[in-house]
Amino acid sequence: RTERHADGLFHSELSKMNGNAYVRQLVKNLVGLRERSQRHSDGLFTSEYSKMRGNAQVQKFIQSLMGRKRSSPDPVNTDVHGREEENIHEELCFLWLYQSFLNTSHSDSDAREAAAVTSQFICP
């Protein structure tokens, strides 16, 4: 009888340990997935931000060239440039919101929709 009791205790403890190991492995995998999506959304934001900065620099360069080639001494219309710069700030604000929502929801469509609605109230 003592042998069966000891055997039962051993198997009971072994089952608990196996269950805990499974849970630990599951949590480890889930945490790894979250880190990966975080890095992915950070990379998307950085990539889009770099593209916009590059586009803004190209636009400034083209405008400066156009300003030099004009035959009249009038300066380049800065109102147009101001609107383009404002659009860039709005796009950056939207991308920042999108990344934040993507980090929490992990759903592209939900994050995009939430960023679109929120950007109307927050972005310039």
pLDDT tens digits, one per residue of 68-77:
544 444 555 5
Query: Residues in the chain with pLDDT < 70?
Result: 1, 26-27, 29-39, 61-62, 65-86, 124
Question: Which tokens hold the place of 84?
Answer: 């383009």
pTM exceeds 0.75, yes or no: no
CA dist 114 → 89, 95, 97 (Å): 18, 11, 8
Domain count, the chain: 1
CA dist 111 → 11, 59, 104 (Å): 47, 30, 8
CA dist 109 → 4, 72, 99, 117, 120 (Å): 58, 49, 12, 12, 17
* Coil, strand or helix at 70: coil
pLDDT digits (tens, 9 = 90+) for 45-63: 777 777 777 777 777 766 7
CA distance 32 to 30: 5
| Domain of 98, in residue numbers | 2-122
